[in-house]
Chains A and B, each alone.
Chain A
């Protein structure tokens, strides 16, 4: 199994390496995509800044042109001389302003403001038209215009309305060219203006959107998207104040989600008065789709998986090689040794071998074989002990005369390892073999459902299969006078049945296995008697005897049978008293109960080699 483990480790390592590679592989592409998105946004941001500056220059030129209109000059100059701005001044200036607005057709402004030399608003056109007379001087742009400069600025008017404004001085067309006022034109930062600033890629596949903001408030965007601008505002606040011209470069790419769409944003502060109040513009695009492993997988199309673009042969070949090597190693290291072990255990069960061959099995299978052999040795030692107990009770019994106990004690090796295996037959086993197992057809049908001998599991005996017990008292002893069955190896030696026994136990009764309790023969009345060269007389069952007259009655019955058999064998019975006999039985019964955990012990009287013998058989619970 070592090589198999190594192989599985290598396969897992390779899978880990490929998995890591698959997860890491999109990162460079993702980084490249993010870099490209940032680069595109920086470019777009700068482009928007340039376009806004260019528009400001055009607007300055425009206002400088229209302030030369005589109606504008006259309206403003007439008010500058007055102490206050009245309705007449306002109407005159308003008419002049409207005419100017109508004349600007190419890029019409949103509003115009006419201011006299004292800084008072003479008229407003397009924004709060009825409001006039207030002082606009003080606003930097107006001060610059009144001083004679052309300039631009950004104002926030009303409720967060952003305007790009330009101003020009109004100069009298007299010899002294006196400054007589100023005109301000305003262009609103509207959705239309933002749409004009949208940057389209060369292939029109993607476009960079534009939006104008004041703090967290979105004023106008080319594409209506609901942003949570908190992160963008924070980034704007972190831009260096002394390097406002490079906001697009110094800013950070901000990732935002709007609904189910992801966007990348880059902001830059707007200049002028509105810039001081937190106005800025931002360019944004949809985030690149490539995002991690999932995003990469989504981008895979059929062409990527075609035979021309993907090494299917290499991948398939690698898979087959990995699978083949794994299967081969499993066969060599697991399947084949397991089959060998199974065959060995089958031989053990069939009696072709009395132990497992530990040298044929390696590794864990060798451990299994050794464990099985150790247990077989243990059973042998326990059987020997039981045999010794009976020998002490009844005298040495002939070889093979004690049935199950005798078989276990003699068939198993005295010690392990290295001891010469006994050539005797194996003990009954719980193993069940199929009918097609080699050599099993020779087995008699009766012993097949055998359970393990009770003495093999003293502490926790396995449950016995339900067997019908005879409802009647134990069969007559004559039924037990049966030649031994073939499964115990030695050919039985039939002995002549004493007449007394034939009468007592029922002559002509069908033969009964001597250890039917152990072998579990159904009904206890069929199957051969498993004795070897012995005639057995079963003295009923302890339960039946107890029911009839108690334990003493059962022992008395056994005693009488034992005396009868001894006499029939012409053995002396002098000195054999019932008291001594029953004491031995009690002691032997208790010992067996302690060793095997059996419920009761059954004693069987039989003839072995012309001598009477007694066998104790544990009776397990049903």
Chain B
């Protein structure tokens, strides 16, 4: 695998449109509830899994499945979104894209994949060769679950939102949304299968100045009434 490919493997590029560089960056940290234990394999091998003798197993990773969205006045055209398939997993299992955006799926591994969408036939057995790409135009109000029928563990989800201001968590739960125009936004958090409740409703972004802290606490990872 080339260096360029490695570099792109962990970067989800949100190519924003011509937003003024003078806008404010929104940062913060999500306080997440205790992560659930990793469930056993759906289809285990000959023997049940066993814990190692040195340390208790780690809980399931939550951050890769969380998307933070500032929902407010739509800010122009939908930016193109790049989504990398890094072998046996997407760079982010769950991403958000503004309605009308083109999501370009790039296979950076050496393994060809056959991709389909579960909800509809936007993708229907599309062959994605190594280094190849496939564009998916997303529509408002939809959710796209992309998977490889030949490798069920290859799985990713696209949540279509009405805003280009989208952020992702690092391993510690921190996020950063750059170039957010002045205004008041609703803070929304999506986890795996749906929107979850947070203890903060809005984020007010000034016209220009220091980064705005939008930290919040997620009470539960179960999908709630938040929309």
Contact = CB atoms under 8 A, between A and B. Distances in A.
A53 interface: yes
Interface string B153-172: 11100000000000000000
Contacts of A141: 41, 45
Interface in B98-142: 108-111
B199 interface: no
B43 A147 contact: no
A153 B110 contact: no
Contacts of A619: none
* Interface size, B (range): 35 or more
Contact of A148 (B6, B7, B57, B108): B57
A275 B51 CA distance: 24
Interface in B44-69: 44-52, 54-60
A244 B93 CA distance: 30
A52 B47 CA distance: 10
Contact of A138 (B10, B48, B153): B153
Given A128-B110, A131-B110, A135-B88, A84 B51 contact: no
A136 B60 CA distance: 16
B45 A151 contact: yes
Main secondary structure of the interface of A (DSSP, over half): mixed
B109 to A, nearest CB: 5
B153 A135 contact: no
Interface in A132-171: 132-144, 146-154, 164-166, 168-169, 171
B18 interface: no
B67 to A, nearest CB: 18
Contacts of A119: 89
Contacts of A64: 52
A271 interface: yes
A146 B153 contact: no
Given A121-B87, A169-B52, A147 B57 contact: yes
B171 to A, nearest CB: 9
Interface in B189-223: none
Contact of A84 (B3, B40, B50, B54): B3
Nearest to B40: A144
B89 A135 contact: yes
Interface centre among A83, A132, A134, A276 (most CB of B within 10 A): A134
B108 A56 contact: no
A149 B60 contact: no
Contact of A86 (B3, B9, B10): B3
A85 interface: yes
Interface centre among B43, B45, B151 (most CB of A within 10 A): B45
Nearest to B89: A138
Interface of B: 1, 3, 5-7, 9-10, 38, 40-52, 54-60, 86-90, 93, 108-111, 150-155
7 contacts: A52-B46, A133-B5, A134-B110, A139-B88, A139-B153, A144-B41, A272-B46
